[in-house]
């Protein structure tokens, strides 16, 4: 039997009518507030806090201290929803205020208030990051404070095999994951019983590596009776900016750029995304890494190429900008990679035999010129696609104020500078996490888990008798959002085998049930 992740456990509710939980582990009081609209209200075993945003004076609420309480037994597992009497009492109170918005409460503000009001016993998330080249685990509180983070890198395997070897990566994950999780708990001075939930990447990515993390998380969740939140890796890249920028709210435009992904999405709300553009072949991060390898740079690859490009002439080699004839927001870097390889061959550079550290002055300058020329064209391709995406996004959502850039390549200073100019030219503010949170990290998984957990999207704790060989639903190829009709490219690959329904369509489907 395959276990599913990210179910929506509560009826649709608007943020304007949602009251969220004050995160406290296992008390006997639970709050559920609901009205009607488009998001989800959390159902969980925490004491609730409700703040009123109604500017007009409201009569005192007809229930204890301004919160609607539901008494539930001190049993393991998720609580039962409040009964009809409590829901009717809430509706009458809202009508007496003349508005259903009397419980407006932003998720972001809620998390900060929860931490301030309950710092001695906060929500705590354990997040697993089973990626192809590192294993990680960390603890994050509801207010975003990082309690601990432990990462085990596989740089030695990357160097040995010249890239990712999936089976070797899986075995390396399995060897260290127990120690990584335990060290994260020890560093945070916590035990499994102190956790409120666990979050884990379920896609997209290599299924061999994803399986290791999911299996470990289910073991932890079963041992301590914890809910599980399945996280979309690319959504985590988009949402981690909300951890570091408290003013960032939906809707916003996001560019997610990494070794395996180029993605332009319009984020309407949590879990609701429109895909404006994606890569039809290779991502920019892969192009950086391959070019760095061909130029004889070290295992830092992308960062090493950025450093080398500072000494080169960006106009020395005339590379063509990809896909200018296609008026969409999709990306392609396979052709640019071919241009770079041919340029290296035409200059007779012995990059495989002579690393950059041993190259002559003339040789090093030639490599620097190629690096600078490649970076100029690669980022110019980003700029052109992002400019069109901004125009499309503003047509769909004129209220957009922020342009989020995240993913490993977003730590590149040249990339940030150029994209900041695109944002300023369109009256937007560029938001990007610090470099430490741009590359794959457990912080973004934990934070995204918190956001979905607060929205009521999580899986119940595994049954105590669940067999260890249970088959889990993994999503190696998992789109983030639904494709924008004008964004379909005639040049795009038609390979759709084993592609899961998008995160957005899954959430919309669960809301309609």
Q: What is the pLDDT of residues 299-339, one digit of tens each?
A: 678 899 999 999 999 999 999 999 999 999 999 999 999 99
Q: What is the pLDDT of residues 18-67, one digit of tens each?
A: 222 222 222 222 222 222 223 333 323 222 222 222 333 334 434 332 33
Question: For the residues 209-232, what does the mean pLDDT come to?
Answer: 90
Q: What is the pLDDT of residues 470-499, one digit of tens each?
A: 877 899 999 999 999 887 766 655 456 568
What is the structure's pLDDT at 510?
Answer: 84
Residue-wise burial string across 2-20, b where 16 or more C-beta atoms lie within 10 A, e elsewhere:
ebebbebbbbbbbbbbbbb
Name residues whose C-beta falls within 8 Å of residue 362's C-beta, 6 or more positions apart in sequence.
none
Cβ–Cβ contacts within 10 Å for residue 381, how many? Answer: 23
Q: What is the pLDDT of residues 416-440, one digit of tens each?
A: 999 999 999 999 999 999 998 998 7
Pairing state between β 482-483 and 272-278: parallel
What is the structure's pLDDT at 120?
Answer: 32
In 295-412, which ranges are continuous DSSP H helix?
302-309, 334-346, 361-396
Name residues whose C-beta falls within 8 Å of residue 469's C-beta, 6 or more positions apart in sequence.
none
What is the structure's pLDDT at 74?
Answer: 32
As a whole number of Å, the CA-based R_g of the chain is 24
- Asked if residue 502 has a cis previous peptide bond (ω within 30° of 0), the answer is no
What is the structure's pLDDT at 492?
Answer: 57
Whether the pLDDT of residue 133 is over 80: the answer is no
Question: For the residues 335-357, what does the mean pLDDT come to?
Answer: 89
* C-alpha to C-alpha distance for 284 and 268, rounded to whole angstroms: 25
Whether the pLDDT of residue 127 is over 60: the answer is no
* C-alpha to C-alpha distance for 403 and 384, rounded to whole angstroms: 15
Whether the pLDDT of residue 502 is over 90: the answer is yes
Res. 349 pLDDT band, cuts 50 70 90: confident
Q: What is the pLDDT of residues 167-181, one digit of tens each?
A: 676 777 678 788 878
Residues facing 141 on adjacent strands: 124
Q: What is the pLDDT of residues 435-478, one digit of tens each?
A: 989 987 788 888 899 899 888 899 999 998 988 778 778 999 99
Q: Which domains does the chain have, with CATH numbers?
A: 122-245+437-512 (3.30.420.40)
Do residues 308 and 465 make contact, with C-beta atoms less than 8 angstroms apart? no
Q: What is the mean pLDDT of the chain?
A: 74
DSSP 106-163: -HHHHHHHHHHH-TTS--EEEEEEE-SSEEEEEEEETTS-EEEEEEEE-HHHHHHHTS
What is the structure's pLDDT at 452?
Answer: 93
Q: What is the pLDDT of residues 368-385, one digit of tens each?
A: 999 999 999 999 999 999
The answer to which of 154-158, 268-272, 360-364, 437-441 has the lowest mean pLDDT is 154-158
Do residues 88 and 94 make contact, with C-beta atoms less than 8 angstroms apart? no
Task: Classify residue 98 by burial, with Cβ atoms within 10 Å: 0-12, 13-18, 19+.
Answer: exposed
* C-alpha to C-alpha distance for 70 and 42, rounded to whole angstroms: 13
What is the structure's pLDDT at 119?
Answer: 30
What is the structure's pLDDT at 443?
Answer: 85
Whether the pLDDT of residue 501 is over 90: the answer is yes
Instruction: Report helix, strand or coil for 67.
Output: coil
What is the structure's pLDDT at 269?
Answer: 96
DSSP code at position 459: B
Res. 182 pLDDT band, cuts 50 70 90: confident
Do residues 443 and 184 make contact, with C-beta atoms less than 8 angstroms apart? no
Question: For the residues 111-138, what does the mean pLDDT come to?
Answer: 42
What is the structure's pLDDT at 92?
Answer: 53
Where is 214: in which H helix or E strand?
A: helix 207-224
Name residues whose C-beta falls within 8 Å of residue 399's C-beta, 6 or more positions apart in sequence.
251
Q: Between 88 and 354, name the one with better pLDDT.
A: 354
Name residues whose C-beta falls within 8 Å of residue 345's C-beta, 6 or more positions apart in sequence.
none
What is the structure's pLDDT at 304?
Answer: 92
Question: For the residues 279-306, what does the mean pLDDT come to?
Answer: 90
* C-alpha to C-alpha distance for 92 and 108, rounded to whole angstroms: 27
């Amino acid at each position: 039997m395959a276990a599913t992740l990210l179910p929506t456990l509560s009826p649709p509710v608007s943020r304007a009518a949602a009251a969220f939980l004050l995160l406290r582990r296992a008390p006997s009081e639970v709050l559920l507030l609901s009205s009607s609209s488009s998001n989800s209200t959390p159902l969980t075993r925490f004491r609730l806090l409700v703040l009123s945003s109604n500017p007009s004076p409201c009569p005192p609420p007809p229930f204890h201290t301004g919160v609607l309480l539901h008494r539930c037994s001190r049993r393991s597992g998720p609580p039962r929803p409040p009964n009809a009497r409590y829901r009717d009492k809430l509706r009458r109170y809202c009508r007496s205020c003349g508005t259903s918005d009397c419980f407006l409460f932003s998720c972001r503000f809620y998390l900060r208030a929860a931490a301030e009001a309950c710092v001695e016993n906060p929500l705590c998330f354990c997040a697993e990051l089973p990626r192809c080249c590192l294993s990680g685990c960390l603890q994050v509180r509801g207010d975003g404070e990082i309690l601990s983070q432990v990462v085990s890198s596989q740089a030695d395997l990357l160097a040995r095999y010249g890239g990712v070897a999936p089976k070797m990566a899986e075995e390396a994950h399995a060897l260290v994951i127990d120690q990584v999780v335990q060290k994260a708990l020890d560093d945070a001075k916590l035990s499994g019983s102190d956790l409120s939930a666990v979050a884990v990447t379920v896609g997209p990515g290599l299924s061999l590596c994803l399986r290791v993390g999911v299996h470990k998380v289910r073991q932890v969740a079963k041992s301590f009776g914890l809910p599980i939140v399945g996280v979309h890796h690319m959504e985590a890249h988009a949402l981690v900016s909300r951890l570091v920028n408290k003013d960032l709210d939906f809707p916003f435009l996001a560019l997610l750029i990494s070794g395996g992904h180029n993605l332009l999405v319009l984020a309407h709300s949590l879990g609701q995304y429109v895909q404006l553009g994606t890569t039809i072949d290779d991502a920019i991060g892969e192009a950086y890494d391959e070019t760095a390898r061909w130029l004889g740079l070290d295992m830092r690859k992308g960062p090493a190429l950025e450093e080398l490009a500072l000494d080169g002439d960006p106009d020395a080699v005339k590379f063509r900008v990809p896909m200018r004839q296609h008026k969409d927001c999709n990306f392609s870097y396979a052709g640019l990679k071919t241009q770079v390889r041919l340029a290296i061959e035409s200059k007779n550079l012995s990059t495989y035999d002579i690393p950059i550290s041993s190259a002559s002055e003339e040789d090093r300058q030639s490599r620097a010129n190629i690096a600078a020329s490649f970076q100029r064209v690669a980022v110019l391709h980003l700029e052109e696609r992002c400019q069109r995406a901004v125009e499309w996004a503003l047509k769909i959502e004129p209220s957009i104020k922020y342009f989020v850039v995240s993913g490993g390549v977003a730590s590149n200073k040249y990339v940030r500078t150029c994209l900041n100019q695109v944002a300023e030219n369109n009256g937007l503010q560029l938001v990007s996490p610090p470099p430490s949170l741009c590359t794959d990290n457990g912080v973004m998984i934990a934070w995204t888990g918190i956001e979905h957990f607060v929205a009521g999207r999580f899986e119940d704790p595994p049954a105590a008798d669940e067999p260890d060989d249970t088959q889990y639903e993994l999503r190696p190829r998992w789109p983030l959002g639904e494709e924008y009709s004008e964004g379909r490219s005639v040049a795009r690959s038609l390979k759709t085998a084993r592609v899961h329904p998008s995160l957005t369509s899954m959430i919309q489907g669960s809301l309609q049930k």
